[in-house]
Amino acid sequence: MFEADVQNVTQQAATGAVPAGNRVREVISEAHQRYAEHTDGQVADYIPILAHADPNWYGISLVDVSGKSFSVGDSQIEFSIQSISKAFIFALVCQELGHEVMHQRIGVNNTGLPFNSVMAMELNDGSPMNSMVNAGALATSALIPGRTTAEQWENIRIGLSRFAGRSLELDGEVYQSEMKTNFRNKAIARLLESYARIDIDPLEVVDIYTRQCSLRVTSTDLAVMGATLADGGVNPLTGEQVVGSEVARDTLALLASCGLYERSGEWLFEIGLPAKSGVSGGMVAIAPGKGALGLYSPPLDSAGNSVRSQRACAYLSRALGLNLFASSAYQSAKG
């Protein structure tokens, strides 16, 4: 899908920094224009309120590690962060509990199955598998520090806000809409309880998880949050060390293998960047040491990933030299 789409784009080798400002502006505008008329994909409706999104909304932002920000299209529209929150909750919990606990207690391997799979857990002795699928994300949110779930929720909101460099707020309508229809997440949380994988009330876990998914962000916020992971855990806008550099590294490794669910292998093969998607149509793709892309376009493919955002990332990873695996020969570089 992507290769054919970007055949005429020269693959730039991954270099130390994103290209100069003018070039970035030009390339991002080109990425926006190329796919603005594409109509593939369906807007999610299993959370009823998400179906109200306009399929034409389309924003792209890039924030680099020096804090420079570039945006085109609907970069100021706020939407619910959904599963993209899982990446940053993993980072916050990993910061508290450490690499080894996340590895042993949650897991770091891809399920090869959809994000809301029950079977993945059943096939793996009740393991939540990884923090990017719903089972693992619920188990990870349960580990957020706090004496009560109200305190845990406040720590989630503050933690994600530190990544964004501004105070993120709950979209109450999205939260209510999902709480009325999230029977499957409630079942997954009960299953986690039955396997003794969570220590707090399963319905309380679903509540804080649904709140975290309902935080409102823009594509620019996603780019800042991603750029914090690209910058050794330091938010390039506020200068705050949000998580340690080793936690940022661990988060990106997990995103590379699990960020796009059962499509993660194809994604890495085509785009070559750690990334995370969400069902409202958001996406973040991170170039370690360089910066991050934040994208928004509601129509999704069958795995729940934004179609235009994926296409734009395929174009941008080539044109901006972001693909982690793209090198050019040492001899030819010497000339």
Q: Which is nearer to ligand DON, 44 or 227 (CB)?
A: 44
CB of 228 to ligand DON, least distance (A): 20
Q: Which is nearer to ligand DON, 48 or 232 (CB)?
A: 48
Q: Which is nearer to ligand DON, 128 or 278 (CB)?
A: 278
Asked if residue 156 lies in contact with residue 205, where contact means CB atoms within 8 angstroms, the answer is no
CB 177 within 8 A of CB 205: no
Question: On the CB side of 164, how many CA atoms lie within 13 Å of its CA?
Answer: 23
Closest CB 163 distance from ligand DON, rounded Å: 17
Nearest in space to 191 (alpha carbons), one of 177, 206, 213, 174:
206
Structure token pair of residue 195: 């396997």
3-state secondary structure of 176: helix
Smallest gap from Cβ 239 to ligand DON, in A, equals: 30
CB of 82 or CB of 264, closer to ligand DON: 82
Closest approach of ligand DON to the CB of residue 144, in Å: 16
Measured from the CB atom, the residue of 211 and 318 that comes closer to ligand DON is 211
Helix 307-319 with 21-35: angle, nearest 10 deg = 140
Binding site for ligand DON (CB under 6 A): 82-83, 115-116, 134, 178, 185, 213, 277-279, 304-305
Give the closest residue to 277 by CA, choosing from 251, 242, 303: 303
Minimal distance in Å, beta carbon 98 to ligand DON?
26
Residue nearest to ligand DON according to CB distances in the complex: 83
Angle separating helix axes 183-194 and 134-141, nearest 10 degrees: 70
